[in-house]
Amino acid sequence: MADHVRVRFAPSPTGEPHVGNIRTAIFDWLMARGAGGAFIIRIEDTDQARKVEGTVEAIYGAMKWLGLDWDEGPDVGGAYGPYVQSERLPMYREVADRLVAKRKAYRCTCSPERLEQVRKDQMERKQPPMYDRRCRSLSAADREAESAKGGPQVVRFAMPMEGVSTVNDLIRGEVSFENRLVDDFVMLKSDGFPTYHLANVVDDRHMKITHVLRAEEWLPSTPRHLQLYAALGWEPPRFAHLPIILAPDRSKLSKRHGATSVMEYRALGYLPQALLNFLTLLGWSLDDKTEILSPQELIRQFSLERVTKSAAIFNIEKLNWMNGVYIRGLPAEGLADALLDFWSAYPPEELPRVPQRDLLLKIVPLIQERLKTLKEAAGMIPFFMADPAPYGKDELIQKKTDDATTKQALERSLAALAPLGAFDAATLEGALRPLADQLGIKAGQLLGTLRVATTGLQVAPPLFQTMEVLGKDRVLRDIRRAMAKLEG
């Protein structure tokens, strides 16, 4: 086995990259980078019936977006390829034949109908459903006769009938399984493709994998893999079974709880560094208070010793909070570029057109504090590129005011603003705040009317800064239009 850490992320191309799978990839990546080891991608496509075109590219895209790089894989090569399982079939068949020759495995000709009947009978007797090992006990002559019938054959591993298999899991400690309760599982299917159990053992050995990080749902399969390693005379890697990710109601995370694909979160406007930080904290923590960690800090601090055994809860409110923290931490240029990149990939319906970068740099400081996602930005700024959002006459009239007061507020505002030479936020505030006292109304009432007049919105970015960006001509025009609307 290799002296330095070698870990692999081995997704199946059966759908969009799920947050649970990508969380495993993140842990692999952090472990490899922190130890100065190698991070390998391997595509496990032996289940050809479930393969979905385009998902390998989606997996690569999700990982690159999150900032994860890899040292070996189908797209970058390496010394232990090929890194796609369907290109390694002769290797699996050779190992299966070797185990059959050593009587550690056997060929099984049981039909699907017979297997279903065995399962049904066992369940009726309240026994755990498992293969009854019929073909394991056949004589050589009977086995040859069965093979001569020409039906489909699989290769099953002959699990030991006694003893225990024990794994010293790096997260869960020592876990033991009684061998007699483990099925004689299928290693090689009738189509010549291996099952996960055979393929991952052979590949991990060939690729010199030192540590296998995977979901806790694979823990019950570990005795199968340990016995396969033993039958082949190979040293197994170290295993770490990661806690499952659950929804807030502690059910399995699924579509009914919201997005489950990493790329969906990208489309919803989450920053990659925020999602990386958030997913890392699903089952791992530095301490009981630190929440925000950069990728460099995560690499430096990550260790399996701090991974929990208990399930992790996917809390979307926490992700929203964390994404907002990251957005507020960006310089204006960084947020402007992030928004332009986001709108390029996901054109916003709310905007008549995407603002030029120089205009966006003026807008960003006005909305940055209020953003939780990039997606929210488009709905806050369309009035900067077009007329104010449509509004009704009644929206101009604030609480505890009337038509006459509102009309006077607009007229006096127009008179105060028209002569101004400078049109910056400080000058605007100096001109308008005293006006409220002169009108005998609260500043909030005056500014509320002007906000609707210039943006069409009840809630908008800070008014004086917004008016500065809109410019004098636009603001005066909008106030005149509001006066005309008020007069009907």
DSSP character string of 184-197:
--EEE-TTSPBPHH
What is the structure's pLDDT at 138?
87
393-487 placed in CATH 1.10.10.350:
yes
What is the rounded CA–CA span in Å between residue 239 and residue 255?
A: 30
Distance of CA 297 to the CA centre of its chain: 20
What is the rounded CA–CA span in Å between residue 118 and residue 114?
A: 6
Catalytic residue among 149, 255, 289, 399: 255
Class of domain 88-242: alpha beta
SS3 at position 174: strand
Per-residue tokens: 9: 């992320």
Annotation says 149 is catalytic: no
Q: Dihedral of CA 384/386/390/396: which sign? A: positive
Distance of CA 425 to the CA centre of its chain: 41
What is the structure's pLDDT at 1?
40
Starting at the edge strand that comes first in sequence, how are the strands of the sheet with 186-188 ordered? 105-108, 154-157, 186-188
What is the structure's pLDDT at 257?
66
Residue carrying structure tokens 């939780």:
372
What is the structure's pLDDT at 3?
59
What is the rounded CA–CA span in Å between residue 128 and residue 436?
A: 80
DSSP, res 456: S
What is the structure's pLDDT at 147?
73
SS3 for 127-166 is CCCCCCCCHHHCCHHHHHHHHHCCCCCEEEECCCCCCEEE
Note whether 481 and 453 are within 8 A (CB). yes
What is the structure's pLDDT at 342?
98
Mean pLDDT by runs of 10 across the 488 residues of the chain is: 82 92 97 97 91 93 97 97 96 97 95 93 92 89 76 92 96 96 95 95 98 96 98 98 93 74 95 98 95 97 96 95 98 98 96 95 96 96 92 93 94 96 96 93 95 93 96 97 91
Instruction: Enumerate the β-bridge partners of residue 245.
Output: 312
